[in-house]
Amino acid sequence: MAKLALCIGINDYPGTENDLTGCVNDAHDWAAELGKRGFTVNLLLDAAATKVAMVTAMVQTIASARSGDLVVFTYSGHGTWVPDLSGDEPDGRDEALCPWDIAQEQALLDDEIEAIFTKRASGVRILLISDSCHSGSVTRGDDSDLDPGLPRARFLPPQVWMPADQLGNVAQRPKHLLGGLARSGGDLLLAGCTDGQFSWDTRFRDRPNGAFTFYALKTLSRLSATASYQDWMKAISPSYLPTNQLPQDPQLFGSRTARHWQVFA
């Protein structure tokens, strides 16, 4: 069985005045962890992560996978939305990831991700880990690792990059930002937050990271060798997220069978 991974991290969003700080570190951290677990890993960072490059790398990764192989995509960066033109979204919006060239109207739509994922060979498993957009409940999670100071939301309002005449009458932030990604055709989606929440870009021990990525990797190191994705998610939340400063509830989407697969095996 081959294990293939593509780790994407984008801090730099030219033309938007909405740069982030922890996404490139996230990508490096995921790549290091997956490499230790036997994955062949490719990285796309900042200017290398244009929409064309992201699509090409995703297509090539899936095309090289065979039955029984595991493909993992990690994405750290902004999320956004666009008006739904195909009529398949109840809220009138398509969810999207934000490539480096988003300011040139280069959003990567959930519909496009679905089309990429459906080209996989039979028996190929796909896991998407998204530490991006999508403000919510406040609980007593442990935020002792968090440096002082306010985190920044990983959500890029479409008004920042989309011409006003294309926004239509859906100019407010959608309530269901994860819906499309959850239906994108992969077996599992690990997401940093629920619909209606943000994933937060912040700093731990003077090093920028996404909150979800930081706690996902912290808890991963403590899991038993036979732990499932469901076990992993329970270790993250509510023990670490959400907190007063990081009001995000990580989510796991997928079939009951997939949720109980052994992590990265």
Which among 97, 61, 76 has a CA at the least distance from the CA of 29?
76
d(CA 50, CA 101): 5
252 touches 229 (CB < 8 A)? yes
Which among 186, 198, 265, 196 has a CA at the least distance from the CA of 232?
265
Cα angle, residue 222 at apex, residues 214 and 187 outer, rounded to 5°: 70
Q: Residues 7, 23, 98, 133: which is the catalytic one?
A: 133
Active site residue 133: yes
Look up tokens 């999207």; give the residue: 96
The dihedral through the CA atoms of 97, 103, 52, 264 has a sign that is negative
- Starting at the edge strand found earlier in the chain, the sheet holding 70-76 runs 40-45, 3-9, 70-76, 125-131, 188-191, 251-254
How many residues would you count in the chain?
A: 265
Q: Residues 7, 23, 78, 193: which is the catalytic one?
A: 78
d(CA 67, CA 188): 17
Active site residue 78: yes
Annotated active-site positions, please?
78, 133
